[in-house]
Amino acid sequence: MKILKLIPTALILLLLAGCNGCNKGKSREKPDVSGIRLDVKLMRFDNDLFDFRTKDYDQQVVFMRGKYGPFYDFYIDHFVIGPHPAGDTTHVEHDALTKFLADSYIDRIQDSINYHFKDTRDIERDLTQAFKYFKYYFPKADVPKVAGVNSGFALGAFTYGKDMLGIGLDLYMGPDNIDYDSAGIYKYLQHKMRREYIARNSMEAIYDLYFGGNEMQRGETLIEGMVEKGKKMYFLSYVLPDAPDSMIVGFTALQTRWCEANEYEIWKFLNDKDMLYKNNYMDQKRYLDEGPTTAGMPAEAPGNIGSWIGLQIVNKFMKETGHKIPIQDMVLKYDAKTILNKAKYRPSKSVF
């Protein structure tokens, strides 16, 4: 099996030291959104839910449904009761919620959430700014209400229709949180479990809601899945223009630098394996899913490396078209095959 030539980390750092901050936003467009009237507030569903401990049950149910609408029943259904046959669950809700709130593990998670999220003004600021950019590019789209929840380490950011964005605050308490290991959360995921990722992951959930997020589809080639994932990453770079390049794809800064220094070799590896134009679902999983590394590549190569290449292809497509295509059109009107054909993506070989 051919292995990628590894450029030493020390050399990577030396080469990138003078590239004007390769891990920062590279001249991304930042339109003036100060005129967009928008102020995102993070509703603390988690704290309101724990008020059931001290308040009348029936009155609190009325309060929760009045404040959160059908999202309350969705949460009870999926996070409190759990999998169950279809049908009315009213008769089990009270007991299930009582047991949920009495669970020492859930209580410990909530205590940790309360410690880390005493002040959420920074999160509200980041979400407000991201949604302003979203409304600037997609003015007809709705901006949901935002609710912070205790997800039991299940979900970080998710949408409930177009009305509500849920934030599992328990998955953003810092990569060194002692409960993540005991919960069986992989180390390669924990570096993203910090509050700075809340806006990024929220906008990814919004993209999936409005534009479709299933890049891994049976019957679709690997390269098409890579480009579709690249479109999503490109969208994120526009609604989060100040986010580091590494955060856009979800890599560490060092992983991003490694990819930039080895772009030619990564592309050559994928071509030599003769998999780009085949519709092998397991190849899609291998190169578009999260993972500690990418099979067949050096240990420094991050998992999900296909998304990074997909983003480079979309960047090249925009360059080849003179950056004249609005992001709205790129997302909605250009499919993966068209982008790939027009991009003429061929990374240059490093001279080192």
Q: What is the pLDDT of residue 108?
A: 95
Q: How far is CA 167 from CA 113, 147, 153, 171, in A?
A: 12, 6, 11, 9
DSSP 22: T
91, burial (CB in 10 Å: exposed 0-12, middle 13-18, buried 19+)? exposed
- Structural Rg of the chain based on CA atoms: 22
> Distance (Å, rounded) from C-alpha 320 to C-alpha 190?
37
Count of CA atoms in the C-beta half-sphere (13 A) of 237:
24
Check residue 217 and give its pLDDT: 62
Cα–Cα distance measured from residue 157 to residue 108, given in angstroms and rounded to the nearest whole number: 21
Q: What share of the chain is helix, strand, coil (3-state, %, to 5)?
A: 55, 5, 40
Q: Which residues of 268-294 are buried (b: 16+ CB within 10 A; e: fewer)?
A: bbbeeeebbeeeeeebbebbbeebeeb
| DSSP annotation string for 296-341 | TS-TTSPS-HHHHHHHHHHHHHHHHTTT-S-HHHHHHH--HHHHHH
Q: What is the pLDDT of residue 85?
A: 62
CA distance 114 to 38: 26
Amino acid of residue 323? H
Q: Is 73 helix (H, G, I), strand (E, B) or coil?
A: helix
Strand order through the sheet with 42-44? 42-44, 145-149, 164-168, 157-160
Three-state DSSP state, 91? helix
Torsion, Cα 250 255 259 265, to 10 degrees, reads -130
Q: Give residue 140's Cα distance to chain centre.
A: 23
What pairs with residue 168 in β-bridges?
A: 149
Task: Please give the Cα distance from 349 to 334 (Å, whole number).
Answer: 29
- The answer to whether 168 and 149 are in contact (CB under 8 A) is yes
pLDDT at residue number 12: 36
CB atoms within 10 A of CB 69: 15
Instruction: Render each residue's pLDDT in the chain as its tens digit; 352 residues.
Output: 333 444 443 333 333 333 333 344 455 779 999 999 999 999 999 999 999 999 999 999 999 999 999 999 999 999 999 766 666 667 789 999 999 999 999 999 999 999 999 999 999 999 999 999 999 999 999 999 999 999 999 999 999 999 999 999 999 999 999 999 999 999 999 999 999 999 999 999 999 999 986 665 655 899 999 999 999 999 999 999 999 999 999 999 999 999 999 999 999 999 998 889 998 888 889 999 999 999 889 999 999 999 999 999 999 999 999 999 999 999 999 999 999 999 999 998 864 4
Taken in order 203, 207, 210, 214, the sign of the CA dihedral is negative
Beta carbons within 10 angstroms of residue 156's beta carbon: 22
Q: Which two tokens stand for residue 210?
A: 């409005």
Q: Which residues pair with 159 in a beta bridge?
A: 165
- The conformation of residue 143, written as its DSSP 8-state character, comes to P
Backbone region of residue 344 per phi and psi (left: phi > 0; alpha: psi in -120 to 50; beta: other values): left
3-state SS string for 43-72: EEHHHHHHHHHCCCHHHHHHHHHHHHCHHH
Inter-residue contact 232 to 215 (CB < 8 Å): yes
| Closest of 166, 140, 163 to residue 152, by C-alpha | 166
Question: For residue 165, what is the enclosing H or E element?
Answer: strand 164-168
